[in-house]
Amino acid sequence: MTVLRKNLIDGEWLGDAGSRNINPSNTNDIVGEYASAGPQEARQAIAAAKAAFPAWSRSGPLVRHAVLKKTSDEIMARKDEIGRSLAREEGKTLAEGVGETIRAAQIFDFFAGETLRLSGELVPSVRPGVGVEMTREGVGVVGIITPWNFPIAIPAWKIAPALAYGNTIVFKPAELVPESAWTIVDILHRAGLPKGVLNLVMGKGSVVGQAMLDSPDVNAISFTGSVGTGKRVAAASVEHMRKFQLEMGGKNPLVVLDDADLAVAVDCAINGAYFSTGQRCTASSRLIVAEGIHDRFVDAVKERLEKLVIGDALDARTQIGPVVDQTQLKQDEDYIAIGGREGAELAFGGDRLERETPGFYLRPALFIGATNAMRISREEIFGPVANVIRVKDYDEALSVANDTPFGLTSGICTTSLKHATHFKRNSEAGMVMVNLPTAGVDFHVPFGGRKGSSYGPREQGRYAMEFYTTVKTAYTFAG
Ligand code: NAD
């Protein structure tokens, strides 16, 4: 029998029957049952967060440090169990699930440290006898809205800084991954957060999320998800004059130059394009390959694709798990058909796979002969699908890489210091990788993009402070 996981509102676990969550590796396996909040619960959660803000924002670094450190320690101690549960509900592999869980623990640890490092500035005024202090304060009630593809890391990298800098939270996780969200909230709650500081409202985006967007009492919204929803968050936030931060899609280029180390380039392409079933905003979906290495690169990528083990996320041998759900699988297949109609050649995969259990298994797909004008090169697919775009040289590669509405991450494989240096400076992306996959980032440095990928201050690392605090300038005349 599954236990109903409830929403946390004002320190109480509330809710009755909700919706069930299934395992994408085995659709007969029900992961759990989760309460589904309505607009009324969302409003209660916002009111609770508002009431809790004055005390929490003045709680002092030691109290906040203790909660965040304790949370980090528990997540780390339970990394195998939580990582397994994450893999079961999202479909990424066990190794990826455990890795993501460790990362969440590291993020809480980092921001526990940041509570003790908050500083301000004291400067002389231009007026004699006057002192000027610049300090940072929490923003207020922060709405946190997250996607399904990093069920624990993305909530962690929003919740940890929000709490560290003295904000209170209404957290609305993605419908597909409530177990990971519930787990992190349960740990934080037991770590000693006062009531109302962190509220969990699981439920539909169009209902619970929308109620958050419509509330004048939500002072800031941190959102990660699709461009379409991001635009709604932006429009509603402007209406309420609130602070907002958006992390959205990507169509990230990996450039492979003739002088690249072939083995490194193939590793970067396989990892960047296909790991986590290609369901990463940082995935390398455009492989921009110079003509001198093109054929050798394509042959080597196909050879590696042949050997990849695609299967049940919970089987330790699996390298690529299933697609997250039926809707995403259909989207992947639709784009594979579109690519064919646009004239790209499907050089590998793209077909459904049968496994022992019913699941959303798709063989990773590689297109060759793609152009940068095709829809498969311009729109985010968010699945294990990559296109090879052949180019003449570095100059054409850079221009194709930058010719996109997105700008999250980019990569180049080359042994030329000159080209690597030029690419780092001229790539129009928020994160640039040299001889590394476009996906896979450190937890202690800024994360975010440009153009249609991101809006507002960066997330993670010390830069997170920009979003989660507001600056106060105080003048004192001491007489
Ligand atoms: P989505 O936009 O469908 O949903 C994201 C969240 O918004 C969910 O919690 C959803 O319930 C909520 N939501 C939906 N409608 C809403 C509304 N009207 N009001 C308020 N909230 C609403 O995105 P998804 O399918 O969960 O995630 C996939 C997308 O996320 C991809 O585009 C991917 O690139 C992006 N993503 C970006 C980053 C990044 O940092 N740039 C990281 C991971 C994922």
From the list 283, 301, 222, 270, the residue with the least C-alpha distance to 441 is 283
For residues 435-452, average pLDDT: 97
Residue 2, pLDDT above cutoff 90: no
**pLDDT (0 to 100) of residue 352:** 98
Which residue's CA lies nearest to atom 14 of ligand 1?
A: 205
For residues 104-131, average pLDDT: 96
For residues 428-453, average pLDDT: 97
For residues 185-195, average pLDDT: 98
Which residue's CA lies nearest to atom 34 of ligand 1?
A: 249
Which residue's CA lies nearest to atom 31 of ligand 1?
A: 226
Amino acid making up residue 389? I
Mean pLDDT computed over every residue of the chain: 97
**pLDDT (0 to 100) of residue 143:** 98
Give percent of the chain with pLDDT exceeding 90: 98
What whole-number distance in Å separates Cα of residue 449 and Cα of residue 458? 8
For 11: left if phi > 0, alpha if psi spans -120 to 50, otherwise beta; the answer is left
- Residue to substitute in 19, 145, 233 for testing ligand 1 pocket (most ligand atoms within 8 angstroms of CB): 145
Residue 478, pLDDT above cutoff 90: no
Structure tokens at 168: 């209170």
Which residue carries 């509102």 as its tokens?
A: 9
Residue 404, pLDDT above cutoff 80: yes
Segment 454-469, tens digit of pLDDT: 999 999 999 999 999 9
Label residue 285 by pLDDT band (50, 70, 90).
Answer: very high
Structure letter (DSSP) for residue 56: H
- Centre of ligand 1 to C-alpha 205, Å, is 9
Query: Which of 14-18, 148-152, 170-174 comes out lowest in average pLDDT?
Result: 14-18
**What is the signed CA dihedral for 234, 240, 242, 248, rounded to 10 degrees?**
-10
**pLDDT (0 to 100) of residue 18:** 87
Q: Which amino acids bring their CB within 6 angstroms of ligand 1?
A: 145-150, 172, 174-175, 205-206, 209-210, 213, 224-226, 229, 232, 247-250, 281, 380, 382, 408, 453
- Residue to substitute in 150, 176, 229 for testing ligand 1 pocket (most ligand atoms within 8 angstroms of CB): 229
For residues 387-396, average pLDDT: 98
HSE at residue 325, side-chain half, CA atoms within 13 A, is: 11
pTM: 0.97
For residues 153-170, average pLDDT: 98
Residue 17, pLDDT above cutoff 90: no
Give the other-Cβ count within 10 Å of 303's Cβ: 11
Segment 333-377, tens digit of pLDDT: 999 999 999 999 999 999 999 999 999 999 999 999 999 999 999
Residue 1, pLDDT above cutoff 70: no
What atom of ligand 1 comes closest to residue 173's alpha carbon? 9
Give the other-Cβ count within 10 Å of 340's Cβ: 14
Residue 123, pLDDT above cutoff 90: yes
What whole-number distance in Å separates Cα of residue 384 and Cα of residue 280? 10
- What does the H/E/C string look like for 444-458? CCCECCCHHHEECCC
Structure letter (DSSP) for residue 258: T
